[in-house]
Copies of this chain bind each other. A is one copy, B any other.
């Protein structure tokens, strides 16, 4: 089942694919269509300079598998561990005729290359008076649940959402993964494309043909008029479970996945709250200056008169991501917490 959205999906055949496969297909199809699309990053194929096989990894999560054999080392570049050089190369190349898809492996590594992202790629167009085009994609994995600890489990989407000049995408389904990645590659602006590491094996029906999902268009996953739930990335699935549980009690939720945090489909959220009068925002990121606060503030400012209860945000706590499974599980917003938040806003 496709996520419902204002975008109509393409006709033609479709098949069940994982999120990983959907991403891989998007890359493959765009690389076939457009010879200026290149992929670069650490281990995007794997085996560079080694005595064994090339394409040994195809990305640490296997997303870029098979690209090297098909497109060759000129278009699939395994790089040294030099993230500033990777992002800089992508940004510079994007201004000079390529459409690079750079991979940062874990988005937690943003700290060693943030300048090239936020001061360079993001600002070129504005600083240069509109004359620059930076059609680059920066792919990376985000999120907790992998027992990978404090330096490999962050979301960090609020940090890039904050930055003018960047677009920020967080697909939650295989369908969205393919369509949004194709849009990201075709887009003329720098796009931060964040894949949740717990979603790679998620399956869903995905059209075989290429299709692009426009940015700034939310997907509507459940319709209801008691409460609006906004959830993104892996949290969509927790929110779906919560909505289904609540449905059993006759509570109907309007469940919206913005899919892109920049641009944000403000209208979808505001229109929903106009109807429900109640808002729960679920986000796996940390709370302070986070996405949940951003959306809560939007509603408090622009749909206040429709609000019939306090806004509720369900987020990770203001702590790093802990390693121990018990702690990590408690860190990540749970279905129970979402259900409880919905009940609270209904009772308020």
- Chain B residues lying within 8 Å of A289, measured Cβ to Cβ, are 158-159, 161-162, 289-291, 293-294
A127 contacts B by Cβ under 8 Å: yes
A81 contacts B by Cβ under 8 Å: no
A126 contacts B by Cβ under 8 Å: yes
- Chain B residues lying within 8 Å of A299, measured Cβ to Cβ, are 300
Question: A80 vs B305: C-alpha distance in the bound complex, in angstroms?
Answer: 55
A158 touches B165 (CB 8 A): no
A44 contacts B by Cβ under 8 Å: no
Question: A151 vs B294: C-alpha distance in the bound complex, in angstroms?
Answer: 24
- Chain B residues lying within 8 Å of A247, measured Cβ to Cβ, are none
A93 contacts B by Cβ under 8 Å: no
Q: Mark the stretch among A66-74, A308-316, A332-340 that contacts chain B.
A: A308-316
A162 touches B159 (CB 8 A): yes
A320 touches B150 (CB 8 A): no
A123 touches B111 (CB 8 A): no
Question: A309 vs B305: C-alpha distance in the bound complex, in angstroms?
Answer: 8
Question: A13 vs B8: C-alpha distance in the bound complex, in angstroms?
Answer: 72
Could you say which of B119, B164, B319 contacts A111, with CB atoms under 8 Å apart?
B119
Question: A109 vs B119: C-alpha distance in the bound complex, in angstroms?
Answer: 9
Q: Which of A88-117 contact B (CB under 8 A)?
A: 108-117
Question: A15 vs B86: C-alpha distance in the bound complex, in angstroms?
Answer: 53
- Chain B residues lying within 8 Å of A164, measured Cβ to Cβ, are 286, 288, 317-320
Q: A246-283 vs B: 1/0 string, CB under 8 Å? A: 00000000000000011010000000000000000000
A302 contacts B by Cβ under 8 Å: yes
A220 contacts B by Cβ under 8 Å: no
Question: A264 vs B304: C-alpha distance in the bound complex, in angstroms?
Answer: 24
Question: A76 vs B285: C-alpha distance in the bound complex, in angstroms?
Answer: 38
Distance of A331 from chain B, by nearest CB (Å)? 11
Q: Which of A195-244 contact B (CB under 8 A)?
A: none
Which residue of chain B has the shortest Cβ distance to A84 in the bound complex?
Answer: B112
A330 contacts B by Cβ under 8 Å: no
A115 touches B126 (CB 8 A): no
B304 touches A310 (CB 8 A): yes
B292 touches A297 (CB 8 A): yes
Q: A131-163 vs B: 1/0 string, CB under 8 Å? A: 000000000000000000111000000110111
A85 contacts B by Cβ under 8 Å: no
B111 touches A117 (CB 8 A): yes
Chain B CB within 10 A, most for which of A113, A115, A291, A302: A115
14 residue pairs of the A-B complex, CB under 8 angstroms, read: A111-B113, A111-B115, A111-B117, A122-B320, A123-B320, A127-B150, A158-B158, A164-B320, A261-B288, A293-B293, A296-B296, A296-B297, A300-B307, A304-B309
**Chain A residues within 8 Å of B, Cβ to Cβ:** 84, 108-119, 122-123, 126-127, 149-151, 158-159, 161-165, 261-262, 264, 285-286, 288-294, 296-302, 304-305, 307, 309-313, 317-320, 322-323, 348
